[in-house]
Amino acid sequence: MECRVRFAPSPTGPLHIGGLRTALYNYLFAKKNGGKFIIRIEDTDSQRFVPGAEAYIMEALQWCGLKPDEGVSEGGPHAPYRQSERKAIYKQYADELLAKGMAYYAFDTADTLENLRREAESRGEAFAYNAQCRTKLQTSLALPAEEVQARIARGDAYVIRFKTPENRTVEMDDLIRGKMQVSTETLDDKVLYKSADGLPTYHLANIVDDHLMQITHVIRGEEWLPSLPLHYLLYEAFGWQDSRPAFAHLPLLLKPQGQGKLSKRDGDKFGFPVFPLVWHDPKSGEMSKGYREEGYFPEAVVNMLALVGWNPGTEQELFSLAELAEAFSLEKVSKAGARFNPEKARWFNAQYLRMRSDEALGKLILKDLQAKYGAMAASVATASTASKVPAGITESTAAEIAGLFKERVCFPAEITGWAAMLYVRPDTYQENGLKKFDKPEHREALRQVLGFMKQQSAGPWAGAGADMGVGRSAGVGSIMENDTLAFIREKAYPMGQVLSLFRLALTGNAQGPNVFPLVAFMGVDEAASRLNILLDN
């Protein structure tokens, strides 16, 4: 039988990063087994429906490259894939359970149920709607059949509840957690259908839809584990045991620190997103951060999430989506909750940033560079004497800048910050750097080094790098570096001290990037001007 899995989100708000991981694991499992990945929108909770949530969920999945084989947009042989459009289907299955004596009508009002809860609490107990009370309340198990029909005919509100079998042990299998047993004495009679809106609850709708859509594996979050006994009983009640899907309940994503499930509050506290895309709450107007808008690459988010709760069994950490699908198996998913590490998420993004070409990164940061430094670039000659790069910030210049700094950042926007040292002369200097490196002998050595570089730029370096294209600064910088370091060694100058003072003059900080690509980009004349500003103070 073809492997068929479904991700079935409810449009009651933005897609949590934990929900995205559930979608990812479903996708990977389907692709590993040559099956189908299906998206079904479970929008039967009309009270909690949030406008825009469904579109948000679909956009988030698309951003991560999790393309469904069947779904709301794609269609398929089991359409429609939005439960509100399948409304007519569910009542017949609820009626089937009623006819079999496996469900019953309940006419209890909200006030009646609230009073029962309070009474139970006053006795130090928790109220459960079960075999102990279902024949004592306003149900079809207690009322005459004529009265039940009369109430329905006059439009009284009712729900249909599942009649949980008494004195049974439900034996279950989970692909992650193994065999489990639950006594039906611990279960309550869940609502399956509500006459108020004519919609089923999750329990009925998802069982019916999974059966009709021929779902073979249900891979969902650990929070649904308490519902598994009911779902087993529903498959039995319908006579669908032979086609019941295999179940796998994924571990929770845990807070970076402390106990409990990862929440938006944790993201706010530690400064990282818990949603894939930025979310504007239509009710409160509140905005929540998104990984996309914070500068994360979708490949990094997918790679990071895959490894939170699943271990490939190797030392490999960087996987493409196709490689993840090839390696994935539910047997290697952890039973225990997986702690979320925001620093590891940053690390993954840095790796994928460095895989990007300079040209691709340059296009991402071009507008920011132009907005921040465009006027300076137009008025100050930033071209190297050797490479003759035109002044101004073009796509080529942005790519050049990306190449200079991408090994030092986690996000593209950070490159724009580093680029300040190319266009803005420092007006202050690191105090510790001055104390350590600004010595008379180091100043004199640096003057000699700069003199050598000026001489070379007018002679042997002239025209160097003319054919290098993007990466010119690094290429010319390498030529400068080799020749200049040889000069420093020949003169027996203290290498580290002289270069640290050089960097201090260029950037204001004694620590940072290699000075020679910076000089190649800004030009030896600009480097000399910055050095003189420091030496003249």
Q: Give the active site residues.
A: 264
In the chain, % helix, strand, coil (3-state, to 5) comes to 50, 10, 40
Q: Whose CA is closest to 387, among 513, 507, 517, 529?
A: 517
Residues 6+ apart with CB under 8 A from 123: none
Q: What are phi and psi of 242, to 5 degrees?
A: -70, -25
**Beta partners for residue 37, in sequence order:** 5
Q: What are phi and psi of 176, to 5 degrees?
A: -105, -40
- Distance spanning both ends of the chain, measured CA to CA: 80
User: 202-212 and 228-238 helices cross at what angle (nearest 10)?
Assistant: 50
Q: What are phi and psi of 219, to 5 degrees?
A: -110, 110
Residues 6+ apart with CB under 8 A from 329: 32
Q: What are phi and psi of 532, to 5 degrees?
A: -65, -35
> Residue 220: how many CA atoms within 13 Å on its side-chain side?
19
Contact 25, 328 (CB under 8 A): yes
DSSP string, 13-38: SPPPHHHHHHHHHHHHHHHHTT-EEE
